[in-house]
Structures are given as structure tokens and as C-alpha cells.
Amino acid sequence: MATPLRVTVWNEFVHERTNDVVKALYPQGIHAAVAEGLREQLGDAVQIRTATLEEPEHGLTKEVLRNTDVLLWWGHAAHDQVSNKIVKRVQKRVWQGMGLVAMHSAHASKIFRRLMGTSCMLRWREAGERERLWIVAPGHPITAGLTGEYFELEHTEMYGEFFDIPAPDELIFVSWFEGGEVFRSGCTWRRGAGKIFYFRPGHETYPIYYNPQVRRVLANAVQWAAAAGSPYIGEGRNIPEPLNPIANPLQAHEDLHR
Ligand code: ZN
């Protein structure tokens, strides 16, 4: 049997304990519902742990990150409470090849904005309107198992363009909303050796993370985002000794590149 993918689902875990509507929908927390969906879809192919804001080091110790192939991130109310030290640590692991799946309001998380380098802000409206997610990259592994040209969520929070992100490497889903807006709902990027997927669905007051298509997409994304390829050496370094002799080396100025 192949080694299971090591997945960490991170959640700030705030609304579920402070808001009765959210508590009723996600009694164990959004992280638990997302983890359950991944287990349901991927079974023994994944080994899942969860981590939350209030744990020491937000549950993202060096040890945990070293042993994480893909990290899923959900946050909304407490982005600012995430320590910069941990954010840097996560960024470094992404460069080294750890996959990152940013869900819904994680667009405004420190880690996502840091990796993107833009504000990642957008328009929104909470009216419980219909969303239709069009598949614009059929054949991409993240769309595996979806049937038809789109899928729909009956009641969602609207996110609309302009979404201030760098142009995605791949656009997987484009959402249409009942109220008229459109949004780039599924986007991929690479940073260092790491793969990043942003997936829009998932407001805390709707049962989005129980939806079978949403669960399918998240499971596909986890498999897609896992590290692949050769080792990553991201540190800059001086190579004073050439691999082969240089016939007529120019005299380097002593003070250059100090
Ligand atoms: Zn939301």
C-alpha cells in the first residue's frame, strides 16, 4: 500500500464557539467537517490531523509542519491573531513543497496574502443566494469526479470581482451568483516547490463543507497539492569553486558581493 498523504486541517475555530448558528452547523468545528469529508473521499490514502489557533504555536510546530504534505487553512475572524513567526514557518514549508489549500475567507489570511503578495481583497454580500461554479479547466485533476459543466450551491455568501490576486497559473472554477457578480473561485499558483489552491465555497453559516461536490474538490485538491518532483534547494549560496576549471577567470573585485 502506498504511504498515506499526511494532511493537516487548520481552523481558527472561533465562530463555532461564539455563534449558535455556526455551532449548530459545525458542532465539532469546521476543521472536523473538512477532515471528515477528506476521510470519506480518500479513506486510507490520507492520514489527517487538525490544528487550531489556540493550541501552542497554533498547532503548527516545526514537527507538525515537517510531517505535513498538505495544509488546509480556514480562518475568518482571527486572521490578525495568527503569529507572524508561524506564518513565516508555513511559508517556508510551502516553498519546500508542502501543498496549501486556502478555503473561503482564508483569502484574507496572513499566510495567503504573504504568499500572493497582493491584498487578496474582494466584494461580498450575505444574502444566501445561489452560486453556480462553472468548471473552466475540464480535465484538471482538481475537477476529477465532477459531472456536468458546473455545480451549484443553493445558499451562499457572495464573493465578487475584482479579487485582488496575482493572475493564477490555472483557473479551475468561475462562479456566477444570483445577484449578478462573478468570481474566480478555484485558482492555482506555485511558490517555490509548493502548490497552492484557493477554493471559494465555505461560509460558516451555511453547510457548505457537507456538500458532496465541495468535498470531492477538496479531496482532489489535497491529492493534487502534495509535493512532487526533485528536492528543493531554495537558499542562495556562493560557489567559489567552479565545477569545471575556468580558462581565463577575471579578477573579481575583493569588495564585491561581500
Ligand atoms: Zn464568509
3-state per-residue secondary structure call for the chain: CCCCEEEEEEECCCHHHHCHHHHHHCCCCHHHHHHHHHHHHHHHHEEEEEEECCCHHHHCCHHHHHCCCEEEEECCCCHHHCCHHHHHHHHHHHHHCCEEEEEHHHHHCHHHHHHHCCCCCCEEEEEEEEEEEEECCCCCHHHCCCCCCEEEEEEEEEEECCCCCCCCCEEEEEEEECCCCEEEEEEEEEECCEEEEEECCCCCCCCHHHCHHHHHHHHHHHHHHCCCCCCCCCCCCCCCCCCCCCCCCCCCCCCCCC
Residue 233 Cα to ligand 1 midpoint, Å, equals 37
Residue 132 Cα to ligand 1 midpoint, Å, equals 17
> What pTM was computed for the model?
0.95
Read off the pLDDT of each residue in 42-60 and give the average, rounded to a whole number: 98
Q: What is the pLDDT at residue 62?
A: 98
- Amino acid found at 132: R
Nearest-angstrom CA–CA distance, 44 and 29:
22
C-alpha distances out from residue 93 to 60, 101, 130, 192, 237, Å: 11, 13, 37, 9, 19
Q: What is the pLDDT at residue 122?
A: 98
Residue 206 Cα to ligand 1 midpoint, Å, equals 9
Q: What is the pLDDT at residue 175?
A: 98
Nearest-angstrom CA–CA distance, 254 and 203:
58
Residue 106 Cα to ligand 1 midpoint, Å, equals 9
Model pLDDT for residues 228-242, shown as the tens digit of each residue: 999 898 889 999 899
Model pLDDT for residues 149-177, shown as the tens digit of each residue: 999 999 999 999 999 999 999 999 999 99
Residue 130 Cα to ligand 1 midpoint, Å, equals 14
Residue 151 Cα to ligand 1 midpoint, Å, equals 19
Q: What is the pLDDT at residue 254?
A: 65
Model pLDDT for residues 187-218, shown as the tens digit of each residue: 999 999 999 999 999 999 999 999 999 999 99
Q: What is the pLDDT at residue 1?
A: 54
SS (H, E, C) 71-83: EEEECCCCHHHCC
pLDDT class of 248 with cuts at 50, 70, 90:
confident
**pLDDT at residue 251 tops 80:** no
**pLDDT at residue 258 tops 60:** no
Please report where in the chains the cell 506555485 appears, as a residue.
Answer: 190
Average pLDDT across the chain, whole number: 95
Q: What are phi and psi of 190, to 5 degrees?
A: -125, 140
In the chain, what are the domains? 5-225 (3.40.50.880)
Nearest-angstrom CA–CA distance, 230 and 122:
36
